[in-house]
Amino acid sequence: MSGLTAPKGTFDVLPPESERFLAVRETLTAPLRRAGYGYVETPVFEHTEVFSRGVGESTDVVTKEMYTFDDRGGRSLTLRPELTAGLMRAFIEHRLHTGALPVKLWTIGSAFRYERPQAGRYRHFTQVDMEALGVDDPALDAEVVALGVQGFRDLGLTDFELLLTSLGDATCRPQYREQLVAYLDKLDLDEETRRRAEINPLRVLDDKRPEVQAQLDEAPLMVDHLSDSTRAHYDAVRQHLADLGVTWTEAPRLVRGLDYYTKTTFEFVHNGLGAQSAIGGGGRYDGLSAALGGPDVSGIGYAVGVDRTLLAVQAEGLHIGAAAGVQAFVVPLGEEARRLAVRLVGQLRQAGVAADTVYGGRGLKGAMKAADRSGASHVVVIGERDLAEGVGQLKDMRTGEQHPVPVGELFERVRASVGE
């Protein structure tokens, strides 16, 4: 089928690069499994209101970036633009809050946003997402942040930074909002920005345009208007992070791109990625469950971009996820040898040895080239003359040494040799 290509802004992950992709995925999720987080899988599409109510009506994600369509039953469905809201929907639907708290969950998968593709920003991307639900405890906030940091450290990344702030809560945000709105009213803003300021004034602080940023120097900051209880919460989070050996940068203007955050809010940025420097982020969202029609329980979590993190790994020149190779490679010459090769490879694989052979009836030269390319440490060559003598030639590719081994002993000898 000529002419078919992946849709604009999407990409394919192919070998050998996919080994690095898998290694990033595994390394980011291992700390979560060690900390008792359970794996969840939710649908790639949800009812549209899960995101319009869960992510927030004023966000660019909801107003401009969602892939929304009507199914054949006339229901409005949306490809997930992020993973938290769907996870929260599952938490509510299956009444997970009635069990032991906190409920600790993680998931991984594709998300989809309609935006202008650029380096590090695509229309389909993969995220690792984790949530700790049902308990409002600063120590839990610190655990969540530290698990994100651990994943990056385990990859060997050093040039990343944790940005941290508190976005207050229902007790102190309304007064702060009034002050911010009063400040924004005096500024020279375009119509669309004014509209955004009416729905969620915090979003204006996040506006990247220089002409807007230039006017925000004296803007009031949430972190200066925290209530006593939210300040105590933030102080405790920072104390726990310090105890965990996690360093951070105070970022009082940090606003995440989703509306549901309260209190602890954070972002992971990498200095080697240019404009799209964020590799992950999250925070506490104590109103999200109630906004989706569930119980009024607290939650905190983060999402990390696997694709962006892989770019960070490459920017630092780190070598992870060596190409998937095989340990043993069998080269048969002739029909009778082929039957033996197929059987031997099958036995080795069942025993947990990565093994392969050639297909398509290649000659000795082509077969040895394939063996070499496979990266195998040991190669078995079975020629017709060898078979007549009841042996196969076992070659150690690292030393070049080669020995005849009786056919009946080949399986055990190869298995023992690759383990050395």
Cα dihedral 62, 65, 71, 75 in deg (nearest 10):
10
Q: Are residue 65 and residue 121 in the same domain, yes or no?
A: yes
Residue-wise pLDDT tens digits, 11-62:
999 988 899 999 999 999 999 999 999 999 999 999 999 998 877 666 677 7
Q: Are residue 243 and residue 133 in the same domain, yes or no?
A: yes
pLDDT score, position 214: 87
261 is in an annotated binding site: yes
183 is in an annotated binding site: no
292, part of any domain: yes
260 is in an annotated binding site: yes
Q: Please, which residues bridge with residue 78 across strands?
A: 46, 68
Q: Are residue 353 and residue 292 in the same domain, yes or no?
A: no
Q: Are residue 126 and residue 261 in the same domain, yes or no?
A: yes
Residue-wise pLDDT tens digits, 103-143:
999 999 999 999 888 777 889 999 999 999 999 999 999 99
207, part of any domain: no
The pairing of strands 160-166 and 249-250 is: parallel
Q: How many domains does the chain have?
A: 2
258 is in an annotated binding site: no
Q: Are residue 408 and residue 268 in the same domain, yes or no?
A: no
Q: Are residue 149 and residue 295 in the same domain, yes or no?
A: yes
Q: Are residue 288 and residue 333 in the same domain, yes or no?
A: no
Q: How confident is the model at residue 408 (pLDDT cuts 50, 70, 90)?
A: very high
82 is in an annotated binding site: yes
Q: Are residue 311 and residue 406 in the same domain, yes or no?
A: no
60, part of any domain: yes
Q: Are residue 242 and residue 390 in the same domain, yes or no?
A: no
127 is in an annotated binding site: yes
For 291-314, what is the mean pLDDT?
94
Written as six digits, the tokens of 307 are 């694709």
39 is in an annotated binding site: no
pLDDT score, position 1: 52
410, part of any domain: yes
Written as six digits, the tokens of 275 are 């404009």
185, part of any domain: no
110, part of any domain: yes
Q: Please, which residues bridge with residue 111 across strands?
A: 125
Determine the distance from the C-alpha atom of residue 20 to the mean position of all C-alpha atoms in its chain, rounded to a whole number: 13
d(CA 334, CA 317): 45
Residue-wise pLDDT tens digits, 181-223:
889 888 888 888 888 788 778 778 877 788 888 888 889 998 9
6, part of any domain: no
Structural domain including 332 reads 328-415
pTM, 2 dp: 0.88
Q: Which helix H or strand E contains 168, and what residues bound it?
A: none
Q: Tell me the CATH number at 284.
A: 3.30.930.10
